[in-house]
Chain A
Amino acid sequence: MLILSRRVGESVTIGNDIVVKIVSLSGNQIRLGITAPREVRVLREEIFETMQAENRAAANPSDPARRLEDAHQRLRKKIQERADD
């Protein structure tokens, strides 16, 4: 891991078009300002990991036919209410 020291107000550039700026410091909390192209997804690491884990949990369900049919039966009432709206 590359480790750099920066002061508040200073920045680090990554590649050609990503800039990470130290905006402020308060106790053990640091505020970062991140400038990146809009196709670059910027997420807090724990959010990224949670989302990856949930996608993996959802992939290739076992016996989806039966379980989703059960769920469908339970949703019928709601579907009907929607249709009646």
Chain B
Amino acid sequence: MTEARAPIAEPAALALVGKEIAFPEGLLGFPDDRRYRLGRFSGAAENDSPFFILQAVERDLSFPLIHPDLVMHDYRVAVNPAILAALKAESESVLVPFLIVTVRERVEDITVNLQGPLLINTVALLGRQLVLEEYPVRYPLIQPEPHP
């Protein structure tokens, strides 16, 4: 199975910007916040930031997101029939994954949650947080440069 890859953000991810997305179960720890809007994080000069913002519709609650491709090359979200059913998706092709970014003071300390990706159905505008126990919860966003 091949997966499409693109720089910065997948077209499917960009197409979700401005859309309202329902998370019927909320996110873990936030069961009562079920409606969000996806925004593009605006970079300095040109709007080319790889970050997105998931903003709750009903209150001031937001999560920075990034597409997994910029974090881990071979990151895989295993989709089973139960997940497809929960997201009302007929196939994997309508699903886009995002990772939640935990922002910290030092850029080297910023981590992404590989264990709890968000999976969004781009057609039904439905989302769910998955739990993939094989991946870490805190994975450094900036990987150390490999030494030559």
Which A residues are within 8 Å of any B CB, using their own CB? 38-39, 41, 43, 47-48, 50-62, 64, 67-72, 74-75, 78-80, 82-83, 85
Interface string of B15-40 (1 = CB under 8 A from A): 00000000001011110000000000
B137's partner among A38, A43, A50, A60 (CB-CB below 8 A) is A50
Chain B: residues with Cβ within 8 Å of the partner, total of: 44
User: If the complex has contacts A64-B64, A82-B5, are A69 and B49 also in contact, measured as CB distance less than 8 A?
Assistant: yes
Q: Is the CB of B131 within 8 A of A43?
A: yes
Alpha-carbon separation in the docked complex, A53 to B85 (Å): 27
Lowest 4 CB-CB distances: which A-B pairs, in order?
Answer: A52-B29, A61-B103, A38-B82, A83-B7
Q: Chain A contact residues: over half helix, strand or loop, or mixed?
A: helix
In the bound complex, what is the Cα–Cα distance between A55 and B8 (angstroms)? 23
Q: B residues touching A (Cβ–Cβ < 8 Å)?
A: 5-8, 25, 27-30, 41, 43-44, 49-51, 53, 60-64, 69-70, 82, 85-86, 100-105, 107, 110, 113, 115-116, 129, 131, 133, 137-138, 141-142
A61, B105: Cα distance in complex, Å:
10
Determine whether the beta carbon of A51 is less than 8 Å from that of B51: no
Alpha-carbon distance between A60 and B53 when the two chains are bound, in angstroms: 10
Measured between beta carbons, the chain B residues less than 8 angstroms from A53 are: 29
Q: Which residues of A lie under 8 Å from residue B141 when comparing CB positions? A: 71, 75
Chain B nearest CB from A46 CB (Å) reads 11
Query: B131 contacts which chain A residues (CB < 8 A)?
Result: 41, 43, 47, 51
Contacts known (A38-B82, A55-B27, A67-B110); A79 close to B50, Cβ less than 8 A = yes
- In the complex, A50→B115 CA distance in Å? 10
